Amino acid sequence: MAGSAASAAAPATMTEPKPASATGSSDGRVAVVTGGATGLGRTIAMELGRGGCKVAFCWFEMDGRDVESTALLTETTLSSMGIEVYAARCDVRDREQVNRFVAEVKRRFGAIHHLINNAGIAHDGALWRLTPADWDAVLDTNVSGAFHCIAACSPHFREQHSGKVVNVSAHQATRPGFGVSSYAASKAALEGLTRAAAVELGPSNVNVNAVAPGFIRTERLDRLPRDLIERTRKRAVLGRLAEPEDIARVITFLCSDAARHITGQTIVVDGGLSLE
């Protein structure tokens, strides 16, 4: 009787596994990066690869840019660093293409651990001048594309009872300027998708988060007016624009075991631009 009473009074024992280390290791994990050939996506792929991940990235043609050649250069660079890499053309707006890409990644590498939804486009201009085609292209790429990729990877995450999803949003989701209605709407929707996916995938031990950068020094910045860039730099509390690595390192943190208890959140990485 005394033993039974003692057992009844004993505190509950935690049965869930603790993280292996403070930072966690990415050695051997497989990361999928959409839009990984250029700009921020390329830096994300490099950063995850340096951390020990095998990297699969997809790319798609863009007007006025030779993305295929850049994708080959990115793939070659990753390989030269000793990183296992797979690159393929894939239009994230097309669910069947996404399914085929994800299936091939799983076939080649045996698993998928991280999904970075970086693919995105913008058609800037006053909303009364936006065509329905321009609006649809932005929403289909930035929101539906992310949805297709999460849906395609979810069965693998649920089967292995683990996974990390990071969606690349933007500070315009909550602080839009003039002429970015479609882009701002798409990123706000992406943050809503982030929270909803976190709720649905949480029971399968899958973390879903977003990062919201401000202006980043990538090729896209070269197409913006210089005076706008300078005004933005001065408005940022830190007085500078982000380098791609500033965003990529937050993403690698969210993919690590150190971030195991963070989900459904949007991490703003804008140098204090949103504090103006």
- Would you state the pLDDT for residue 5? 43
- Would you state the pLDDT for residue 25? 53
Q: Which residues of the chain have pLDDT under 50?
A: 1-15, 17-24
- Would you state the pLDDT for residue 27? 76
Tell me, yes or no, whether 54 lies in a domain. yes
Tell me, yes or no, whether 8 lies in a domain. no
The domain in which residue 147 lies consists of: 25-271
Q: Could you list the active site residues?
A: 183
Please count the structural domains in the chain: 1
The answer to whether 31 touches 117, Cβ cutoff 8 Å, is no
Tell me, yes or no, whether 172 lies in a domain. yes
Tell me, yes or no, whether 138 lies in a domain. yes
Tell me, yes or no, whether 4 lies in a domain. no
- Would you state the pLDDT for residue 78? 97
Tell me, yes or no, whether 204 lies in a domain. yes
- Would you state the pLDDT for residue 242? 85
* CATH code for the domain in which residue 162 is found: 3.40.50.720
- Would you state the pLDDT for residue 3? 45
Greatest pairwise CA separation for the chain in angstroms = 81
Tell me, yes or no, whether 15 lies in a domain. no
What does the alpha-carbon distance between residue 60 and residue 212 come to, in Å, rounded to a whole number? 22
What predicted TM-score, i.e. pTM, was given to this entire model?
Answer: 0.88
Tell me, yes or no, whether 276 lies in a domain. no
Of 98, 96, 109, 119, which is closest to residue 36 (Cα–Cα)?
Answer: 119
